[in-house]
Structure 1
């Protein structure tokens, strides 16, 4: 029996193909695949070929999903009905109450939207806005700028520096707000951030909020890593600017449930009804509703209690210890690296090795990561993927190449655990590679 896939070999070339290629050649908004997803697939392929790869390229929680939520998911697995576009009312109530307690911010259940991951919610918001300048830090998560372009918006990079801890300063925001003041400005604020793991201090954030308020800037606060602040001290942006902040979060990072694809968004009533109706319109014409069993499981995840507190506190302690050690080891090798505030990323800067790297034919961050993968088996992402200049020798390092279940079940320090051997060896592989003649 001939397989259907074999029949394509006999098909004539389609005239549609020529039109497609001609159209793509003229397009100015081509959207390449996400660098984070590509490095994950590349690492898998190299491992499958027998190479040893230290997988610091893809940022996925190493911890198991919160067990009570898994039990709820199993109990509701047979549910198959479409749910309300906005999300289960009971879940929205639970989410609003949760953030009201955890973040001390005034979430209203009727202004919560549940979506298939915060990534799509972010795009829905950008698409629902009138013409705007989307102000994106450099560095920032790889998908913000492509999403802005796909939505027909104008992406503007706000460059940050090592000395500024890779943060957008109030002065930088003030300067950009004075440019084309007639345009709506939307500041994307992700803290603790991807790719840096850093967050502003309270004073800086309050001054940033003051600038936003004075210029009527809409702030899109991507707080997906907020609950993984290593000291449990994350300050939600809506605490300082509640009337002008749209907040997104979800289960992927703090609940270890990236593949479940459940995100939440809060758009305050102070922003008016038109924006929220447009958000619901995008949702109804695209994802319709999030899977019923997942929403039921999220009800459990968003219920505070001692078990959830212990789960979060242990994650924070483990990530803080590992991230602090990685940063210290790289700093000792002359690779400037800020110790992280939260999440599981570092943003090392190899500038002090520029001359030595240049002698080896390495002048850009992409060349740096390619050589590290080829010659040391270390998978990283270049700073240029996050909006930084190509010649800036920065990389993103996701220090989660370990199985977190065992560490979650223990107490005390973790660096001596055999579970972290791969992580420690990966950092040492970077240092050894740098020291080669």
Structure 2
């Protein structure tokens, strides 16, 4: 029996508490928390009459736009290499179902990877992440893990990377990624590279991609839920490698898609075609959101460090992964010895919702949690627009109030 996704479950729990009148600081769910640009909404509205089924892979218009989007990001792509779906999550599942072999996974990693692997009966081979950043396995440990896995009867076949990373909010070093790809090549692994946060590097630069180092066996997935904050629209897309192997894989995924989701909703394909053409209103919106994500994530990071936690500095997206190990003794006096107990204490005693590291495959005894900062920008579209346009969003009353709430909560938890 599969469990309710931890990220969706905590979102629903916190929403229910808020509806009941509780004051809860929502740091548990990775929704991008920003409004829809007017021109993007107009593109969707204009396509509202498109109510026919389309090709499983997506319209030529959408695939051509996605191919151009990849090509402008130094990954030359033909429209025939692209597939659309209702969210990248569906594509990740279809790829795991289509590709042979067990799943090699950095640890910690986004909650749904291991859950999806379990649904399609793949073993999960966990490999710790490097100390500097998440999203990829530690190159120094990967080869050993593959050898041990084969000795125990597993069949490593798929390596799933997330660059930039959820849950740590960091970007893998290019030299580490290159080494990981070289090991994957030696062991005949296929890489699935989840790059949905690729537009949100805080320094404005591109994130490194496994497709640059192992182009013939890397599948890239992305979507519009993070950079353009269109999570509820469920628009995902994938790029398979050029050549016969990629074409065969695409056909396998099309077969799965045709039986599961048929096609991405036609109006959403029109919206995707507009966004992926990189019009100025979209690229400006993404640049502004990148600045806001970086500013607020840094401020939240400072609060956790002030409270005694260690935490990688945020580099992309809107996540942090604080570790309260330095204050374990203080927390133990309050009966807090695991990540789940830490998350429970923050929610029940202090009204702060986070997700325990255990949900991301981390050890249960670790005092770690995934913190999402993107729902601090405001409750209404007006507040979120103001945050997006502000030169100093930390002074806005609702963001300043949230930071004060967090500061007080952490001070009460770790006196």
TM-score for the superposition, normalised by structure 2: 0.93
Q: Is the 8 A contact 1:225 1:343 kept in 2?
A: yes
Q: What CA distance in whole angstroms lies between the structure 1 residues aligned with 2:253 and 2:168? A: 29
Deviations 1:222-279 (A, max 9, x none): 0111111111221222122211110000111111100101100111134343322110
- Alignment partners' CA distance in 2, 1:91 and 1:74: 16
CA offset at residue 422 of structure 1? 4.0
Instruction: Give the match for residue 175 of structure 1.
Output: 144
Aligned to 2:216: 243
Please state how far the C-alpha of 1:184 moved relative to its aligned partner: 4.2
- Residue 423 of structure 1: how far off its partner (Å): 3.0
What RMSD over aligned residues (CA atoms) do the two structures have, in Å?
A: 1.6
**Alignment partner, residue 407 of structure 1:** 387
Matched, 1:95 2:95: no
Q: TM-score, normalised by structure 1?
A: 0.89
- Residue matched to 1:10: none
Distance 1:98 1:272 in 2: 19
- Partner of 2:103, secondary structure, is strand
Q: Which residue of 2 aligns with 1:189?
A: 161
395-404 or 268-277, which moves further after superposition?
A: 268-277
Partner of 2:315: 341
Residues 280-319 of structure 1 aligned to structure 2 (within 5 Å): 280-319=254-293
**Residue of 47, 67, 87 corresponding to 1:76:** 47
Q: Does the 8 Å contact 2:99/2:158 carry over to 1? A: no
8 A contact 2:377–2:387 mirrored in 1 = no
Question: In 2, Cα distance between the equivalents of 1:352 and 1:395?
Answer: 14
SS in 2 for 1:32: coil
Displacement of 1:369 after TM fit? 0.6
1:236 and 1:433 map into 2 onto residues whose CA distance is: 42
SS at match of 1:143: helix
Displaced runs of 4+ in structure 1, greater than 4 A? none
Match in the other structure for 2:381: none
- Which structure: larger Rg? 1
Corresponding residue pairs, total: 403
Q: Is the 8 A contact 2:331 2:414 kept in 1?
A: no
Match of 1:431 in 2: 410
Q: Deviations over 1:48-76 (max 9, x none)?
A: 22210000011101111233221011111
Structure 1 contact 54–422 (Cα < 8 Å) conserved: no
Give 1:433 shift: 2.1
> Which sections of structure 2, spanning at least 5 residues, go unmatched?
379-383
**Mapped partners of 2:129, 2:262: distance in 1:** 38
Q: Which runs of 5+ in 1 are unaligned?
A: 1-29
Q: Distance in 2 between matches of 1:423 and 1:242?
A: 44
> CA 1:238–1:422 in 2, change beyond 3 Å: closer, same or farther?
farther
